[in-house]
Chains A and B, each alone.
Chain A
Amino acid sequence: MAVRHKHRETGTSVVVYADNYINDIEGEKLEEMCDAFLEKGFKKIVIDFSGTDLVNSIGVSILIGIIEKIKGKGAVVFSGLKDVNFQIFHIVGLTRHIRVYDNEEDALKESASCDGVSL
């Protein structure tokens, strides 16, 4: 994998940091990475955007790809969205399908008690 996305494993959850890689087609490797986590037995994936300045249309396309790819295999939630990114996710309809948390800790806490949105 040319771009190894940063991640943090905690219990049955894993936090993946999208950073700005998500805005390039190379970011598609995040799809395989999330799929691999679920295959390994993780139940939840928190995609954290606190290091992402602005998600572009490529990023949106990749995120939709991730959601489609892990459909039925586990759950995915978002955290750390800057306002501008929240607005973009809202425009393209992602917020209607994915739970969004202020930060990764909140997302993990919720993850412990709730399965988020099962996809």
Chain B
Amino acid sequence: MSGVDLSLERLLFNLNTLAELGEEITSPKDFTRVVKSSLYMVMGTFSASKGIVFQYDQSDGLFTQIASKGLTDVRGAGLKIGKDAATAIIRNNKPIDLKSADPVIALLGPGREFLERLGARVLAFLIVKDELLGLIAMSDKFSGEDYTLYDYQLLSVMAQHISFSLHSHTLLMRLMYRYNENKGLYENLRRIYYDTIHAFAAAIDAKDAYTKGHSHRVSSYSAAVAREMGWSADDIEGIRISGLLHDIGKIAVDKSIINKASPLTSNECKELNSHPVIGYEILSRIKFPWKGIPMMTRNHHEKVDGSGYPDRLKKSDIPLGARIMALVDAFDAMTTDRPYRPRLSFREAIDEVKDHYNRQFDPEVVRPFISVIRKEVLSEVENPTIVPLMHEHLDPVTLSRILEGFPR
């Protein structure tokens, strides 16, 4: 082996370690791994056989170990200091020898004995911007040499590097905590929001003894068709909400008109037919997180041939969501009892859809609607929504007969 200038070699080794430490703390690796690698680098630099890194929680003054090496059992290893000690440590802000007479040592109280039991000799506190974040404790050198002034200086630099990593992690954890807290609050708000909308839907349906559950069915049928049409989860949620609220305008319609068994007079008809516009006016004042809810409500009685109300829109001028709701709203009205007639059978309702295909109902919506029914009868969907609510048993053969001659 050739003779070497040890001081130069040591300098190069230390510089290399600092470079690697810098790379490590800025790497996207898992934090635990970064801390462990950093500890190993520090220990390797000073040839210490034992070492431990603690994270400090200023709320309770506790240091909790996050990485260790060479210590047999440090489970539950913890260290607690008072506020005075934390302040003194921050003010001191340099590595200390546990065996020295440094005043900070005395402030550690029982923590000093605890650290000595772990075999610690040198302490390097992790501090960023006057905030104590943690501590690295290391044993005597494996080589038996003493820590030099140069070692303390180098350890101070390494501790600063690791402090930044711990600081970033602490900030991230605080952010995550806030995020989870806000997420919880948001979930609560969302639940309240849904509960309110469901309460509205129940209030709407309560006005009409015959339409109990109508809004919920229109909501779930619309969502099923929209899903079949490949809508995004967000848009499906929008039409689901829209379905729940589509008849909200009926709140302003006289109850006797809604429940009237005999034919409506022209004025009564006018009042009843005003409900989509009233609904639109109510809902357009609300800032929904989903798009198109007021317009879906307004146009759910439009027909693709332009003979619907209130705007007499034709096919593509009618919002697609409103075209979906127009179909499922009519289908549910047909398959449930009404004051003026008993419910139609599934076959009769489908025949009505067939008869009004491309006149009242949009083929682009009828096709996925039929497809949903077919899949539900064939048990190809996990949560069927339409077929279970029919008052008759539908099997694939019967369905096939009912759908015979249906435009594909």
Residues of A participating in the B interface, judged by any CB pair closer than 8 Å:
24-25, 54, 56-62, 64-65, 67-68, 83, 86-88, 90-94, 96-97
Contacts and interface: CB of A to CB of B under 8 A. Distances in A.
Contacts of B143: 92-94, 96-97
Contacts of B48: 64
B37 A94 contact: no
26 contacts: A24-B37, A25-B36, A25-B37, A25-B40, A54-B16, A56-B17, A56-B41, A57-B13, A57-B17, A57-B44, A58-B20, A58-B41, A60-B45, A61-B43, A61-B44, A68-B49, A86-B1, A90-B6, A91-B9, A91-B13, A92-B142, A92-B143, A93-B47, A93-B141, A93-B145, A97-B143
Contact of A64 (B33, B41, B43): B43
B144 A58 contact: no
B4 A64 contact: no
Interface residues of B, number: 29
B358 to A, nearest CB: 64
A92 B13 CA distance: 10
A100 to B, nearest CB: 8
B142 A93 contact: yes
A58 B44 contact: yes
Q: Give the top 7 A-B pairs by smallest Cβ distance, nearest first.
A: A93-B143, A57-B44, A60-B44, A61-B44, A92-B47, A61-B40, A57-B17
Nearest to B6: A91
A83 B2 contact: yes
B70 interface: yes
A98 B150 CA distance: 26
Contacts of B6: 87, 90-91
Given A91-B9, A91-B10, A93-B145, A62 B2 contact: no
B167 interface: no
B4 A56 contact: no
Nearest to B141: A93
Contacts of B1: 83, 86
A41 B9 CA distance: 38
Contact of A61 (B13, B69, B141): B69
A60 B16 contact: no
A60 B10 CA distance: 13
B37 A64 contact: no
A92 B45 CA distance: 7
B249 to A, nearest CB: 65
Contacts of B44: 56-62, 64, 92
A56 B41 CA distance: 8
A15 B47 CA distance: 24
A6 to B, nearest CB: 22
B182 to A, nearest CB: 35
Interface in B14-31: 16-17, 20
B60 to A, nearest CB: 30
Contacts of B43: 57, 61, 64
Nearest to A91: B10
